[in-house]
Amino acid sequence: MRAGKRGLFAVAVTVVCAVTVLGAPGTAFASPSPTPSPSVTTPPPAPEPNKDLEAVREKLDALYHDAAVATDAYNGAEEKAEKQSAEIVELAKKIVEGRERLDELKDRAGAAARSQYRTGGLPDEAQLMLSDDPQGFLDGAGRVRQGQRATKGLLGELTRTQQDLEQYSKDASAQWQKLESNRKDKAEAQKKIEKQIAEAKKVESQLAKKEKERLAELEQEAAHKAQTAWLDSGALEEVDGKATEQGKKAVKYATEQIGKPYEWGAEGPVSYDCSGLTSQAWATAGHGIPRTSQEQWRQLRHIDTKDMRPGDLIIYFADASHVALYIGDGAMIHAPRPGRNVTIAGAGSMPILGVVRPGA
């Protein structure tokens, strides 16, 4: 029970008790005498419902924002882990190939050593002096020198192959350590996401049906106010960019996902988070982009708002924790947050950090 309601309830009890005493039969009263009047505490005014719900709205926004930041961290760690896993696989292939090459080189080196043993390991000059056919030996001397050079090259390649194997092993070990570190980062981010979403759901579960309806109205009003302010600022006055073929494909893909649920860490085709939607839209358009909104902001080309065109990505909030796909006419498509579906909204309905452009 809220504080205002408790105060009103206390006053009501006081009034009811007073009426009961005054109306009781056989109650005698002494002649009036100066007695101190009982002090009645005036209850504080009840808080305005909209102010209470506005505070709830702000709290929910903060919780879902923190969940979005954690989701970006999770997605980033997952992307790195996948990359490191692929690198480890490639290094493992190189190690296998290197060992096979090393075995082959060792066999060739062994054959050369056995050949030298059969000649007694004598230098060319001694073999010339002992030869029954000096001219035949001289004719073969060139081939011998070629064989010596080949043996020297063989030993050099053997050494390089061994060094490569050692480096591959070191690289694989380093990538494995990074992989384990990113797995831990993923687990920590997942815990934070689940904690923030659970807290938000707890706050929402405590609201009555009418309060939830009014909360939804307040959210729409806040978004409309922000969008109106953005449009009134003249942000779109010079925007007339035409979408490229890739941009059109990205917009088409995003539009087809409208109505599908938000799910953190998801990149389709059943559900999406914000960067999962934008990255898949552009992947379908034939151009891969980073998985997370923060990396999209960091790696993609920044453009001025007046040069914005359909297919560009709008990055929101100072920490680049949200992203949407601009579709033209001041609107965007995005996957908002847990409990919501992919939808169209005003491009200025949230604080814009900047605009980036995938593709050439």
Longest dimension (CA), the chain: 158
Tell me whether residue 322 is one of the annotated catalytic residues: yes
Share of the chain above pLDDT 70, in %: 73
Task: Encode pLDDT of 317-351 as tens digits.
Answer: 999 999 999 999 899 999 999 988 999 999 999 99
pLDDT of residue 189 exceeding 70? yes
> Quick check: 357 and 303 in contact, CB under 8 A?
yes
Task: Give the mean model confidence (pLDDT) for residues 44-62.
Answer: 68
pTM: 0.61
pLDDT of residue 145 exceeding 60? no
Secondary element (H or E) of residue 243: none
Q: In what order do the strands lie in the sheet with 331-334?
A: 301-303, 352-357, 313-316, 322-328, 331-334, 343-346
> Quick check: 53 and 218 in contact, CB under 8 A?
yes
According to the model, what pLDDT value does residue 118 have?
Answer: 59
CA angle 101, 121, 116 (to 5 degrees): 30
- Helices 245-256 & 274-284, crossing angle to 10 degrees? 130
- Using CB atoms within 10 Å of the CB of residue 250, give its burial: 0 to 12 exposed, 13 to 18 middle, 19+ buried: buried
Mean confidence (pLDDT) of the chain = 76
**CA dihedral angle for residue 242, residue 244, residue 250, residue 251, rounded to 10 degrees:** 20
> Quick check: 294 and 352 in contact, CB under 8 A?
no
Give the domains, in start order, of the chain with CATH numbers: 49-203 (1.10.287), 236-357 (3.90.1720.10)
Q: How confident is the model at residue 215 (pLDDT cuts 50, 70, 90)?
A: confident
Q: What residues contact residue 42 under an 8 Å CB cut-off, 6+ apart?
A: none
- Using CB atoms within 10 Å of the CB of residue 164, give its burial: 0 to 12 exposed, 13 to 18 middle, 19+ buried: middle
Tell me whether residue 65 is one of the annotated catalytic residues: no
The single residue of 17, 65, 274, 287 carrying the catalytic annotation is 274
Tell me whether residue 334 is one of the annotated catalytic residues: yes
pLDDT of residue 177 exceeding 90? no
Of the listed ranges 154-158, 248-252, 287-291, 295-299, the one predicted with least confidence: 154-158
Task: Give the mean model confidence (pLDDT) for residues 232-241.
Answer: 78
pLDDT of residue 86 exceeding 80? yes
Pairing of strands 301-303, 352-357: antiparallel
> Quick check: 345 and 279 in contact, CB under 8 A?
no
Q: How far apart are the first and last CA of the chain?
A: 59
Task: Give the mean model confidence (pLDDT) for residues 266-292.
Answer: 95
Task: Encode pLDDT of 25-39 as tens digits.
Answer: 333 333 344 444 444
Spatial separation of the C-alpha atoms in residues 118 and 85, rounded to whole Å: 50
- Using CB atoms within 10 Å of the CB of residue 208, give its burial: 0 to 12 exposed, 13 to 18 middle, 19+ buried: exposed
Per the structure block, which two tokens stand in for 166?
Answer: 């050692």
Task: Give the mean model confidence (pLDDT) for residues 69-95.
Answer: 82
Higher pLDDT among residues 312 and 38, named by residue: 312
